[in-house]
Structure 1
Amino acid sequence: MVSRRRPPKPDPTPLRHHHVVVHGLPDDVLVERDVPIRTGDGTVLKADVYRPAGSGEHDRCPVLVAVTPYGKDAGVDRYPVDFDDLAESGNHVGDLEISDCTSFEAPDPAYWVPHGYVLVVADMRGHHASSGRPRLLLGRAALDCAAVVEWAGGQKWSNGRVGLAGADYLATLQWYTAALDPPYLAAIAPWEGVSDPCRDILTQGGIPETRYSAFWYSAMNTGARCGAASLRRFTPWLLRRFPDFFRHVAPPPRLEDITVPALVGVSWSDQGPRARGSVEGYRRIGSEHKWLYTHGRKMWQTFYGNEALDYQRRFFDRFLKEEDNGFEDTPRIRLETRHDLRTYSERLESEWPVPDTRYVALHLDHANADLSTTPCESRQFRRTFPVAGDELVFTHTFDEDTEITGHAALRLWVQAKDANDMDLFVGLAKRDEHGRDVWFEGHGGYEKGFVAHGWMRVSRRALDPEASTAYRPVHDRTKYWPLLPEQIVPVDIEIMPHSTFFEAGSSLVLVIAGHDLDENPRVGHDRTINKGFHIVHAGGQFDSHLLLPIVPQPEPEADEAATDAEVAPVKVVDRQDYPIAWGALTRLQRVRL
């Protein structure tokens, strides 16, 4: 049964850039520093181990493991620096409360140890306290992480059940490690981590991403072979000479080999680096017990927030402590639907994509610059625009409340004038009933984000027929099809998954350009192959259209006992200038219309 909610009213309270609250560890946490862990090839990693101080020699606890390139002792020092850097560029990363022993994007020992867990945080080889040469390739890092898992599971203070936890890179490493199925691994909780580095971030739609990739390599600091500046210069050249380079050096893990229980966190706000990878990871893993926790808010604030921590703890309590807490009866999808920058609603669903989803085609109409539910079959139109700065914009206004949740796809018939290739950038945006832009959270606290994004290098348009669906095109990275002079070709562009609510009278806007649409300084594609003019064809034989996942809004049932008081719109209030979840405010898991 699908549960629906009436959306809450927006409360656009201004935010500070950020506010970090740091506290010490509780007295009942015992810390062991620089504990040596030997890997299979003899390399010694160093780890910090946090244990309940009151536990006896024979008391055994479940263990959480995180292996990090950023430094097991670096967390409190990193957050203010990164937050201030983002704030200078206009990004707002929100509030954060952690202990002074929390490694960057790793679990907080001040939370987990008092709840009966041992936490092991280890440095990657060649980074900080660990020996060996730095190896940024995830296959090698996964072998080391698996060694830490096996070591932790065999310690006298361990109950023999180990979980992996952490966000971003620490989440990505979980996919690779779990695919190895190391001894003692019993559960994972990858929070906003890519599951296919080549598709998710390094080459989005075949276009090299240069900003986030460069920032990440720079953040790896100790032992990194390639700094941010050289990576930004080197990557475009490398992909021109060897188009399949990253496909070979950063192959995805065998997700189907992951069978342990998994709680996967995904953010609609991270359209570039992480949204696709998290959803694809959830969809493809072989785990019988798996859950998807979605949100559209700020990454770090949500990951360390009370609601998400409680979700993670109940998950690990069930599968590491083996408590009979009923978590396995929780519906598989915690779905958060965005209304605007500050407002969202939430509900529980049984699967992804959401049941009863209808895929509706909106056809490009050049004559009226809109998206029409009926194709223009009698006439053909073409629009030419310069790639340097111009954009094509199409609009569709909704007559009734509409929820768009899931994967969208765009088919375009395109032509390059005086070029043999094209880089296409696609964005979905929202405007309110008065024609004003409605912004959403973007990567790294960027607060003028689009609804969703898509990218496509046209020479990489060949589809993988085994993996593709109409709403989720998957491209064959082994094919390279440059354009011939005057050639008109169809391209199918994957648009990142999201969940967004459009009120009656509001509009969906499709933007097509030859450049990045966001002005977010942390993500982008600085070196494209574009030159001259792009041409988009529509109408007649050229069926250029946008395919949208529409979730029907059910009619109220006559026998429902819910009253207006129970479903009245709830004002979204702030805790230190940030709205908390509507469901948490009402203390209701489901509100029926």
Structure 2
Amino acid sequence: MIFEKDVEIAMRDGLHLRANVFRPTTPGRYPVILAHGVYGKDVHFRDAFKPQWEVLTGLYPDLDKGASSGRFLRWETADPERWVPDGYVLVSVDARGSGKSPGYLDPFSPTETMDHFELIEWAGTREWSSGKVGLLGVSYFAIKQWQVAALRPPHLAAIVPWEGASDFYREWARHGGILSHGFPAAWLPRQVSVNQNGNGNSPLVDPDTGERTTGPALEEGILAGNIADHMSDLHRHELDDDWHRERSPDLSRIEVPVLSAANWGGPGLHLRGNIEGYLRTGSQRKWLQLHVGTHYESFYLPDFVSRQKRFFDRFLKDIDNGFDHEPAIRFAVRHPDGAVWREAESWPLPQTRWTSYHLDADRLGLMPAGGSGSDASVTFEADGDGVEFLTPAFEEAVEFTGPVALKLQASSTTDDMDIFAVLRLLDPDGDEVRFTGAHEEVPVARGWLRASHRALDPHRSTPYRPFHTHRRIEKLTPDEVYELDVEIWPTSVVCPPGYRLALRLMGHDFEYEKAGRMLHDSSMDRSRTTFGGKTTIHTGPERESFLLLPLIPA
């Protein structure tokens, strides 16, 4: 293939972004697949993400074989050597202020999104371009797709956002109104500032040149002034204000074909956004995939690449390959020992039976429909292990696939409280079944809510998916009981005979032995004075607290 390195692309303000362009050697006009992000177009997957590379190549050894050994493989973007031979041009661009592209680095910003628009138009008007541009990539590269597609670039023809948020506030910044501190705080130095343009201390090396991927070094004071203080921005914008709105696209404006891919094991970031994106996008030709595994293996393994190509062959090359007639939903149903693929035409699944399990504070049980026990309450320390409610052992295999909602009657000894809701699967011996997630082991599902953010949007809420406005703060009166609707992110799980579901309620993050990535541990956001009190859950006929689950009939 033809490899053009550090191609300069002029932006509206005169600044030039740098791109790598990979295209077929045979002259002609080809559809373009473009990726635009902050991780470095010249940073090899193997060098920047060695542990993940070893996992991936262990699963797919052919990725690291041959003369090139995946020479051009980059984190979370398509491999040119597996796309260009099939008649595609691949364009990878360093976002403004990252890698070889100068400028002010402001991740997810409207400026960056407008750059993306112009890059699509540039790619769609080259002499080697068919005029059709598609977008493909994971996480950051998926988030940018949702953002720019809503601007309707004329040459954009299709998108494949793979595991990436579409609602900046609810999926990236603040889960249930609680600041998502752990991942963004670690992500910025590890993946963003390390690749900032002009970073003379970056250890990242371009394997083609042996030089830093960040270009000529800048003076430290200039470097510090060339990047947004993203964590301060997240702290400062506590509500879903215009700063967040500028980073959350109007999905109804997206009209191009969409293949949205979500990960059941990405409850903190790589799940809700793809489902909501699929549901709310204005496109008439859209598909949703819900898979398992780490978020990079699902993107690179041959079966998934094949599906990506079939989608783009249809909508970038106009090949009548039958993709139009595929079922709208393709999803993996998780079992304790693996997963089974199924298909459906709508979401939630049309056969769903919404089933309530009532919390019983006396017996710490989750009672199936037909009884909610006597009025009772249970109290736990907000910074302790919380309290757990168990279903009876299932007599036969039961499947739950879809959104989950939790209604609580709760009170706090302080003027606010954070609810961390965790749904777990326990085997007959009481041992938990853990599932492989995008980055770590995960339980069945998680949900979050800050009680002072309890206000619902009546137009966008449903019984199975509460939607909070996050537009105002309503403090609590200590020891007064409040009704709280907690959105628990969607799930899919089969509970075999003898297994139980457990609902744990806590006042802090649920973690396994290894610290999780999506933590909410900022002392600036969660002072002990406010969030270190005692929480009481009230249950019974007068104060019903219940879990609403999506039962799928056998």
TM-score band, normalised by shorter chain: 0.7 to 0.9
How do 1:118-517 and structure 2 match up within 5 A?
Answer: 118-218=89-189, 219-221=191-193, 222=196, 234=232, 238=236, 243-244=239-240, 248=244, 251-340=247-336, 343-374=338-369, 376=371, 379-396=374-391, 397-417=393-413, 419-444=414-439, 446-447=440-441, 449-517=442-510
Sort the Cα spacing of 1:220 and 1:249 in 2 relative to 1 into closer, same or farther, 3 A. farther
Give the letter for the 2:21 counterpart: V
The range that moved more, 159-168 or 373-382, is 373-382
Shift of residue 244, structure 1, vs aligned partner: 4.7
Extract unaligned runs of 5+ from structure 2.
65-69, 198-222
Shift of residue 246, structure 1, vs aligned partner: 7.7
Shift of residue 231, structure 1, vs aligned partner: 6.3
Shift of residue 433, structure 1, vs aligned partner: 2.6
SS at match of 1:303: helix
Residue in 1 that maps onto 2:521: 526
Sort the Cα spacing of 1:256 and 1:317 in 2 relative to 1 into closer, same or farther, 3 A. same
Shift of residue 399, structure 1, vs aligned partner: 1.9
The range that moved more, 384-393 or 214-223, is 214-223
Spell out, residue by residue over 1:111-167, the C-alpha distance to the aligned partner (whole angstroms, 9 max, x if none): 110111000111111111113222324322111111111111111111111100100
Residue in 2 that maps onto 1:103: 74
Give the letter for the 2:464 counterpart: Y
Spell out, residue by residue over 1:275-302, the C-alpha distance to the aligned partner (whole angstroms, 9 max, x if none): 1111111110011111111112111011
Say if 2:97 and 2:226, in contact at 8 Å, map to a contact too.
no
**Whole-angstrom CA distance in 2 between matches of 1:451 and 1:110:** 37
Give the letter for the 2:382 counterpart: V
Extract unaligned runs of 5+ from structure 1.
1-28, 554-593
**Whole-angstrom CA distance in 2 between matches of 1:92 and 1:166:** 16
Say if 1:428 and 1:510, in contact at 8 Å, map to a contact too.
yes
Identify which of structures 1 and 2 has the higher relative contact order when contacts are C-alpha pairs closer than 8 Å and 6+ apart. 1
Say if 1:411 and 1:546, in contact at 8 Å, map to a contact too.
yes
Say if 1:50 and 1:118, in contact at 8 Å, map to a contact too.
yes
Say if 1:389 and 1:514, in contact at 8 Å, map to a contact too.
yes
**Whole-angstrom CA distance in 1 between matches of 2:290 and 2:244:** 31
**Whole-angstrom CA distance in 2 between matches of 1:323 and 1:377:** 57
Sort the Cα spacing of 1:375 and 1:382 in 2 relative to 1 into closer, same or farther, 3 A. farther
Shift of residue 375, structure 1, vs aligned partner: 5.7
Spell out, residue by residue over 1:371-416, the C-alpha distance to the aligned partner (whole angstroms, 9 max, x if none): 1113655731010111121211111122221111110000011100
**Whole-angstrom CA distance in 1 between matches of 2:236 and 2:156:** 38
Give the letter for the 1:196 counterpart: D
Spell out, residue by residue over 1:280-331, the C-alpha distance to the aligned partner (whole angstroms, 9 max, x if none): 1111001111111111211101110011101100000000010011111111
Shift of residue 42, structure 1, vs aligned partner: 2.0
**Whole-angstrom CA distance in 2 between matches of 1:350 and 1:315:** 17
Say if 1:272 and 1:443, in contact at 8 Å, map to a contact too.
no
**Whole-angstrom CA distance in 2 between matches of 1:231 and 1:511:** 32
SS at match of 2:296: helix
TM-score (norm 1): 0.82
Shift of residue 485, structure 1, vs aligned partner: 2.7
Spell out, residue by residue over 1:75-114, the C-alpha distance to the aligned partner (whole angstroms, 9 max, x if none): 3344444639xx9xxx999645362212221111011101
**Whole-angstrom CA distance in 2 between matches of 1:50 and 1:365:** 61
Equivalent of residue 16 in structure 2, options 19, 44, 51: 44
Give the letter for the 1:238 counterpart: R
* Percent identity of paired positions between Structure 1 and Structure 2: 38
Sort the Cα spacing of 1:330 and 1:92 in 2 relative to 1 into closer, same or farther, 3 A. closer
**Whole-angstrom CA distance in 2 between matches of 1:489 and 1:290:** 40
Spell out, residue by residue over 1:190-249, the C-alpha distance to the aligned partner (whole angstroms, 9 max, x if none): 000100111012100000011111123221121586999x866x578535xx54568546
Give the letter for the 2:368 counterpart: T
TM-score (norm 2): 0.88
Say if 1:198 and 1:250, in contact at 8 Å, map to a contact too.
no
Give the letter for the 1:458 counterpart: A
**Whole-angstrom CA distance in 2 between matches of 1:217 and 1:80:** 15
Sort the Cα spacing of 1:422 and 1:236 in 2 relative to 1 into closer, same or farther, 3 A. farther
RMSD: 2.3
Residue in 2 that maps onto 1:5: none
**Whole-angstrom CA distance in 2 between matches of 1:543 and 1:477:** 24
**Whole-angstrom CA distance in 2 between matches of 1:268 and 1:175:** 20
**Whole-angstrom CA distance in 2 between matches of 1:382 and 1:93:** 51
SS at match of 1:299: coil
Equivalent of residue 115 in structure 1, options 62, 86, 101: 86
Sort the Cα spacing of 1:364 and 1:243 in 2 relative to 1 into closer, same or farther, 3 A. same
Give the letter for the 1:38 counterpart: A
Say if 2:103 and 2:226, in contact at 8 Å, map to a contact too.
no
**Whole-angstrom CA distance in 2 between matches of 1:303 and 1:401:** 31
Give the letter for the 2:38 counterpart: P
**Whole-angstrom CA distance in 1 between matches of 2:509 and 2:280:** 29
Give the letter for the 1:214 counterpart: A
Give the letter for the 1:306 counterpart: P
Say if 1:198 and 1:246, in contact at 8 Å, map to a contact too.
no
Residue in 1 that maps onto 2:549: 548
Spell out, residue by residue over 1:405-443, the C-alpha distance to the aligned partner (whole angstroms, 9 max, x if none): 1100000111001x1000110000101233221111234
Say if 1:73 and 1:102, in contact at 8 Å, map to a contact too.
no
Shift of residue 358, structure 1, vs aligned partner: 0.9
**Whole-angstrom CA distance in 2 between matches of 1:507 and 1:497:** 18
Give the letter for the 1:192 counterpart: E
**Whole-angstrom CA distance in 2 between matches of 1:203 and 1:493:** 14
SS at match of 2:347: coil
Spell out, residue by residue over 1:423-476, the C-alpha distance to the aligned partner (whole angstroms, 9 max, x if none): 1100001012332211112341x13x1000000100000000010000000001
SS at match of 2:110: helix
**Whole-angstrom CA distance in 2 between matches of 1:329 and 1:293:** 15
Say if 1:443 and 1:523, in contact at 8 Å, map to a contact too.
no
Say if 1:76 and 1:100, in contact at 8 Å, map to a contact too.
no
Say if 1:94 and 1:298, in contact at 8 Å, map to a contact too.
no
Residue in 1 that maps onto 2:202: none
SS at match of 2:468: coil
SS at match of 2:549: strand
How do 1:574-593 and structure 2 match up within 5 A?
Answer: none
Is 2:71 the counterpart of 1:70? no
**Whole-angstrom CA distance in 2 between matches of 1:414 and 1:236:** 28
